[in-house]
Amino acid sequence: MSISPFDLKDRKALVTGGGQGIGLAFARGLAEAGADVMLVARQSVHLEAAREALSDTGAGVDIFSADVTRESDCEALANYCREQFGELDILVNNAGTNWRGMPQDYTLEQWKALIDVNLTSVFLVSRCMFPMLSIKGGKIINVGSMTSIFGTTHTAPYGAAKGGVVQLTRALASARYDIQVNAILPGWIDTDLTARGREASPELHDKVLARTPAGRWGQPQDLVGAGVFLASAASNFVTGIAMPVDGGYSAEG
């Protein structure tokens, strides 16, 4: 019996920011495709709820509380992952956050915080996990944003960080290892984070619908197909790409 190139049976996956929203959707998709998953987030209450939410997948689900902007936390995570998994097949760098504001209104501390969460964490976790991924080849999926490829008025630090995610993805992909490194660029996805944006700017909802050819906001599960593809053998000759998953929002330039 032939095995589907999308089958992730016996694969080990780690998802940062995996306690809720997009990260939890990625984790569910990987688990349903057969992978065992480790969820990483700062708040243990979210991790416990996420583990319970994935109990119906039949996959092994582990959790680890860490601040992935801290080098010591990332090293502890790598040690724990090595103890539990021995090796790693799939890394999803999903941890991120954003605050809306005009460029002149951001403090230096806010700038640094957004760069650390959205970009530095990708470097730190990838660096710590690289030895495990390189044992037999692996997959790194970095979660950027549509703001990786065009600017928006109220998200200067976030856009700068997510643009950096794409360039870091290309740099890692060019290394001579059997590790495919790619980025997914979500568009307007309906999450707690974007809900706060709509509360701050009530006109945002209609503006998004007006520009999105798909005619709706995305849901976290809309990203799962791209995630499973980039995590599986189906993408073994795909590396260094940045794939928009935005309902066509970025197609209008």
Residue 235 pLDDT grade (very low, low, confident, very high; cuts 50, 70, 90): very high
Burial zone of 192 (CB within 10 Å; 0-12 exposed, 13-18 middle, 19+ buried): exposed
**What is the average per-residue pLDDT within 181-194?**
91
- Kindly report the average pLDDT of the chain as a whole number: 94
- Which amino acid, residue 44? S
**Is the confidence at residue 1, as pLDDT, over 60?**
no
Separation between Cα atoms, residue 89 and residue 37, nearest integer Å: 10
3.40.50.300, 3.40.50.720, 3.40.50.620, 3.30.499.10: which CATH number matches 12-243?
A: 3.40.50.720
CA-based angle 40:97:71, to the nearest 5?
A: 50
Q: What is the pLDDT at residue 197? A: 72
Residue 29 pLDDT grade (very low, low, confident, very high; cuts 50, 70, 90): very high
Domain layout of the chain by residue ranges: 12-243
DSSP string computed for 77-125:
HHHHHHHHHSS-SEEEE---------GGG--HHHHHHHHIIIIIHHHHH
**What is the average per-residue pLDDT within 174-203?**
87
- DSSP H helices, 134-186, are 156-173
Tokens of 170: 């290309």
Q: What is the pLDDT at residue 253? A: 62
DSSP string computed for 19-76:
TSHHHHHHHHHHHHTT-EEEEEES-HHHHHHHHHHTGGG-S-EEEEE--TTSHHHHHH
**Is the confidence at residue 2, as pLDDT, over 70?**
no
Task: Calculate Rg over the CA atoms of the chain.
Answer: 17
Q: What is the pLDDT at residue 152? A: 82
Residue 193 pLDDT grade (very low, low, confident, very high; cuts 50, 70, 90): confident
> 33 CB contacts (<8 Å, ≥6 apart)?
6, 7, 8, 228, 231, 232
**CA-wise closest residue to 143 among 95, 193, 196:** 95
Of the ranges 85-94, 99-108, 201-210, the best mean pLDDT one? 85-94
Look at 74-78, 200-204, 218-222 and tell me which has the smallest mean pLDDT.
Answer: 200-204
**What is the average per-residue pLDDT within 223-250?**
97
**CA-wise closest residue to 92 among 13, 158, 156, 36:** 13
Separation between Cα atoms, residue 95 and residue 142, nearest integer Å: 9
Determine which one of 80, 106, 158, 249 is catalytic: 158
Tokens of 172: 């890692």
Known catalytic residue: 177?
no
**What is the average per-residue pLDDT within 71-95?**
97
Q: What is the pLDDT at residue 157? A: 94
**CA-wise closest residue to 220 among 192, 183, 181:** 192
Tokens of 193: 């984070």
In percent, the amount of the chain with pLDDT more than 90 equals 80
Separation between Cα atoms, residue 118 and residue 167, nearest integer Å: 13
Give how far the C-alpha of residue 124 lies from the chain's centroid of Cα atoms, to the nearest Å.
14
